[in-house]
């Protein structure tokens, strides 16, 4: 190590992951009980320190896989959080990521293992450090992303009804869309393939099922709203 490096104080680099899932009605965030001091036992985002021989992205992927059991999820770097007093134990800079997963893919056994829980975005409990700020910023990013990216790829089943898709966007924006206008707008984008199958669990007549067409989306750069 050169003298120029030695003259600077050392610090820790960590990653924190905001994980969103959709239960059909609400967008929820996954929180865990913190396992170490300070703030042990309080609600927290899942995180960890970046290893000496791993990239920040690889560290976030490792944390996500440990918590969800999934190794191929949508993940995006959110921001850097480096307030000097954000962690009273040491000087820690955290790189936050947000991820989108299908709740059906999540292994329930991991909830108990990590003392984790899913929380409605309207009912987030008190969390440690600056994690509330991280969650708030990730919600803003999710809303921005939903404008230009079909997030249903990540949060909905492979096959879904128009009602499920509308419920997802209403949950993201915490508002209500007119059913006719929503359907007209979505179909006009030519991003969906309507299947011959119907979902009949919620009505006798049944609702047609749809799938996102990734090829069409990649060819189209239109905004969703």
Predicted structure pTM score: 0.86
The answer to whether residue 224 is domain-embedded is no
Residue among 32, 22, 29, 42 nearest 120 (CA): 29
Q: Is residue 110 part of a domain?
A: yes
- Domain of residue 74, residue span: 3-148
Residue 18: count other Cβ atoms within 10 Å of its Cβ: 25
Question: Please, what is the Cα angle at 196 between 157 and 177, to 5 degrees?
Answer: 55
Contact 15/66 with Cβ under 8 angstroms?
no
At 83-132, the pLDDT tens digits run 999 998 899 999 999 999 888 777 777 778 888 999 999 899 999 999 99
217/151 Cα distance (integer angstroms): 12
Residue 201 in any domain: the answer is yes
Q: Which residue among 148, 181, 197 closes a domain?
A: 148
Q: Are 69 and 106 in contact (CB under 8 A)?
A: yes
Same domain, 64 and 85: yes
Say if residue 40 is in the same domain as residue 114: yes
Residue-wise pLDDT tens digits, 137-171: 999 999 998 877 778 788 998 899 999 999 999 99
Checking if the pLDDT of 81 tops 60, the result is yes
148 vs 112: CA distance, rounded Å: 36
């Amino acid at each position: 190590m050169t003298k120029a490096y030695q003259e600077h104080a050392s610090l820790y680099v960590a990653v924190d992951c905001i994980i969103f899932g959709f239960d059909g009605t609400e967008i929820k965030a996954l929180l865990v009980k913190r396992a170490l001091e300070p703030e042990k036992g309080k609600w927290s985002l899942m995180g960890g320190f970046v290893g000496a021989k791993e990239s920040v992205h690889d560290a976030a992927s490792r944390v996500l896989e440990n918590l969800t059991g999934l190794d191929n999820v949508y993940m995006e770097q959110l921001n850097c959080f480096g307030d000097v007093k954000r962690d009273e134990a040491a000087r820690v800079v955290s790189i936050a990521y947000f991820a989108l997963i299908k709740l059906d893919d999540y292994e329930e056994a991991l909830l108990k293992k990590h003392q984790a829980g899913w929380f409605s975005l309207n009912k987030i409990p008190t969390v440690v450090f600056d994690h509330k700020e991280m969650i708030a910023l990730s919600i803003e990013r999710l809303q921005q992303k939903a404008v230009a990216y079909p997030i249903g790829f990540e949060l909905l089943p492979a096959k879904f009804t128009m009602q499920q898709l509308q419920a997802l966007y209403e949950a993201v924006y915490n508002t209500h869309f007119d059913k006719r206008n929503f359907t007209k707008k979505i179909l006009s984008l030519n991003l969906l393939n309507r299947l011959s199958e119907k979902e009949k669990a919620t009505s006798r007549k049944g609702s047609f099922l749809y799938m996102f067409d990734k090829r069409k989306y990649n060819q189209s750069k239109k905004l969703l709203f």
